Amino acid sequence: MTDSVPMIVAIDGPAGSGKSSVSREVARRLGFGYLDTGAAYRAFAWHALEHGVDTSDAMSVLEVTGDFEFGIALDPDAYRVEVGDTDVTEAIREPRVSDAVSGVARVPAVRESANGLFRSLVAASGREGVVVEGRDITTVVAPDAPVRILLTASPEVRAARRSAELTNHDAVQVANAMAQRDAADSKVVDFLTAAPGVTVVDSTELDFEQTVTAVLDVVASALAPTTGAADGR
């Protein structure tokens, strides 16, 4: 536990780039907390659907924000997402939720509230540092983070990786779904282009371990001038 402000490793990237799995493993190796910001939007989309809300209607979405109680564990080895007393860790990955996420995330008031929530979770984590991953972490949530990374890969590789995670889905179907979601989300945030000062890690030609190592190398390089550390691992 520490009373100091946690250090943030901010990681952005599109679906299928390996953002979540890589970020969680990086957090483990650094001894940091892990915050999946996308889970908050998924949890709110689940909440809205449970209330029978049309998630494409911003006014209807706003009507169910009042009783939304979000909880998430920042321990990379004990990942858990809750809405109120309900464990929704698995439920928020259902296709119906994935289809609804962009709708709720496009509502400015929802994003503003979520960003404040993310900052509060990090501040209250009691951790030396937190790896925070999502869509606009390097530019909006934590633009002053000492480590800011855009993790990406080619569309073909991202589609292949995502289809491998799912059953009864072919790469073409997944690629089309990912392209549609990226197009919708990119109207709200630019997560495909690195902002000034953000380091790009392209995992197209890298396996999981190589990608984790590449991210850890960026962390080590960023911290070396201030900590004198030769290795961030």
Q: pLDDT digits over 84-137, tens only?
A: 999 999 999 998 998 899 899 999 999 999 999 999 999 999 999 999 999 889
Residue 1 maps to a domain: no
Could you list the residues known to form a binding site, using ranges. 13-21
Report the pLDDT value the prediction gives residue 30, as an integer from 0 to 100: 97
The number of domains in the chain is: 1
Type and span of the H or E element at 157: helix 155-165
Binning pLDDT at 50, 70 and 90, where does residue 230 land?
very low
Sheet holding 86-87, edge to edge: 70-72, 81-83, 86-87
Residue 85 maps to a domain: yes
Binning pLDDT at 50, 70 and 90, where does residue 229 land?
very low
Give the structural domain span for 20: 7-218
Residue 231 maps to a domain: no
- Helix, strand, coil share (%) of the chain residues, nearest 5: 50, 15, 35
Q: What is the CATH number of the domain that holds 40?
A: 3.40.50.300
Could you list the residues known to form a binding site for ATP, using ranges. 13-21
Residue 227 maps to a domain: no
- pLDDT above 90 coverage of the chain, percent: 69
Binning pLDDT at 50, 70 and 90, where does residue 141 land?
very high
Residue 116 maps to a domain: yes
Q: Give the pLDDT confidence of 11-61 residue by residue, as tens digits.
A: 999 888 889 999 999 999 999 999 999 999 999 999 999 999 999 999 999
Binning pLDDT at 50, 70 and 90, where does residue 166 land?
low
Residue 233 maps to a domain: no
Residue 155 maps to a domain: yes
Residue 47 maps to a domain: yes
Q: Residue 7, exposed/middle/buried by CB under 10 A (0-12, 13-18, 19+)?
A: buried
